[in-house]
């Protein structure tokens, strides 16, 4: 039973480019969460999605960031016109339901903006 | 604003020692508290606690929650070098978001 999968594991982008991060939840999980971990900081919630729905995006920056979880395929976190401050580890987690179920994390995508 | 605070920030012990990690929280509408272990990759789930006073145990690790005093502890007995990691505490609240609010973590180093 595969865990949460994320790709790519490492992503390098120049300032102004777009970054696309993918997350496939654990089998049987229909809820996906994205978190960001800035260098030397804790994990911060960004967005919570179910299939085809954004449930809570209160942690997402208002500009340049968007997320989706289509009916088919992985969840995607998209960052447009990246800046150096976007450099961070982006983790995806999944759970089978709203809870109280534990969230299982993927290995993360480390984004470096040069 | 919901807040989760962990202490100590870092800890260095020798193999065989017992450690206690602390997590206190101030949140509205508490639902559950979770502990994770983070090495150089994904946070790995350890425990989820929803009720006060009931100890959860897994091998040398155990955890308990006090909902009256708003804190939890994670104990590790007979520590091993493989226990070296950052230990994260997170709280889930009852709202539509279902998000976890994380503390800053405790960095544990176990020396041989």
- The 10s digit of each residue's pLDDT in A17-66 is 999 999 999 998 889 999 999 887 889 999 999 988 998 898 999 899 99
pLDDT of amino acid A75: 97
For chain A, the average pLDDT equals 92
Which residues does chain B have within 8 Å of residue A4's beta carbon, measured at their own beta carbons?
Answer: 42
Give the residue from A67, A98, A106 with the most B CB atoms within 10 Å of its CB, the best one to mutate.
A98
Give me Rg for the CA atoms of chain B.
14
Classified as helix, coil or strand, B86 is: strand
| CB within 8 Å: A102 and B41 | no
Average pLDDT over residues B7-17: 96
pLDDT of A73 above 80: yes
Q: Tell me, what's the pLDDT at B54?
A: 87
What is the pLDDT averaged over residues B10-32? Answer: 94
Pairwise CA distance, residues A19 & A10, whole Å: 11
**pLDDT interval class at A112 (50, 70, 90):** very high
| Least confident range of A3-12, B7-16, B44-53 | B44-53
Q: How far apart are CA B35 and CA B106, in angstroms?
A: 11
Which two structure tokens, joined as six digits, stand for A13? 């982008």
Centre a 10 Å sphere on the Cβ of residue A104 and count the other Cβ atoms it contains: 20
- Most A CBs within 10 A among B99, B101, B104, B107, hence the mutation to make, goes to B99
Residue B67 phi, psi (nearest 5): -80, -15
pLDDT at B97: 61
Q: Which two tokens stand for residue B95?
A: 């709202």
Q: Tell me which residue of B88, B91, B109 sits closest to B6, measured CA to CA.
A: B88
d(CA B96, CA B79): 39
> What pLDDT is attached to residue B51?
85
Instruction: Identify the residue among A103, A104, A106 best suited for mutation to test binding to B, counting B beta carbons within 10 A and taking the highest.
Output: A103
State the Cα–Cα distance between residues B49 and A47, nearest whole angstrom: 23
- Tell me whether residues B99 and A45 touch, CB distance under 8 A: yes
Share of chain B above pLDDT 90, in %: 76
Q: Which residues of A touch B45 (CB under 8 A)?
A: 102-105
Which 3 state secondary structure label does DSSP give A2? coil
Q: Which residues of A touch B98 (CB under 8 A)?
A: 31, 33, 48, 55-56, 95, 98-99
pLDDT in tens, B32-86: 999 999 997 789 999 999 888 889 999 999 999 998 999 999 999 999 999 999 9
Q: Report the alpha-carbon distance of residue A13 to residue A61 in Å, rounded.
A: 19
Hey, are the CB atoms on A43 and B96 less than 8 Å from each other? no
> Is the pLDDT at B96 greater than 70, yes or no?
no
pLDDT at A16 exceeding the cut of 60: yes
What b/e readout covers A79-89, taking b as 16+ CB neighbours within 10 angstroms? beebeeebbbb
Name the CA dihedral angle for B58, B34, A45, A69, rounded to a multiple of 10 degrees.
Answer: 60
Could A56 and B96 be called an inter-chain contact, meaning their C-beta atoms sit closer than 8 Å? yes
Tell me if chain A has a CB within 8 Å of the CB of B50: yes
């Amino acid at each position: 039973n595969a865990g949460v999968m994320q790709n790519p594991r490492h992503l390098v982008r120049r300032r102004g480019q777009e970054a696309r991060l993918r997350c496939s939840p654990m089998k049987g999980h229909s809820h996906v969460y994205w978190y960001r971990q800035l260098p030397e900081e804790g994990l911060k919630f960004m967005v919570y999605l179910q299939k085809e729905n954004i449930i809570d995006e209160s942690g997402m920056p208002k500009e340049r960031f968007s997320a989706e979880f289509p009916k088919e395929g992985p969840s995607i976190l998209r960052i447009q016109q990246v800046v150096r401050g976007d450099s961070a580890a982006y983790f995806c987690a999944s759970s089978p339901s709203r809870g109280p179920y534990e969230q299982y994390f993927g290995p993360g995508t480390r984004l470096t903006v040069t | 604003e919901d807040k989760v605070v962990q202490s100590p920030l870092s800890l260095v012990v020798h193999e065989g020692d017992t450690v206690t990690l602390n997590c206190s929280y101030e949140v509205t509408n508490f639902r559950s508290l979770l502990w994770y272990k983070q090495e150089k990759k994904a946070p790995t789930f350890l425990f989820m606690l929803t009720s006060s006073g009931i100890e959860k145990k897994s091998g040398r690790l155990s955890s308990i929650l006090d909902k009256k005093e708003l804190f939890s502890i994670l104990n590790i007995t007979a520590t091993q070098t493989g226990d070296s990691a950052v230990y994260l505490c997170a709280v889930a609240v009852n709202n539509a978001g279902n998000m976890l609010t994380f503390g800053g973590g405790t960095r544990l180093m176990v020396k041989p």
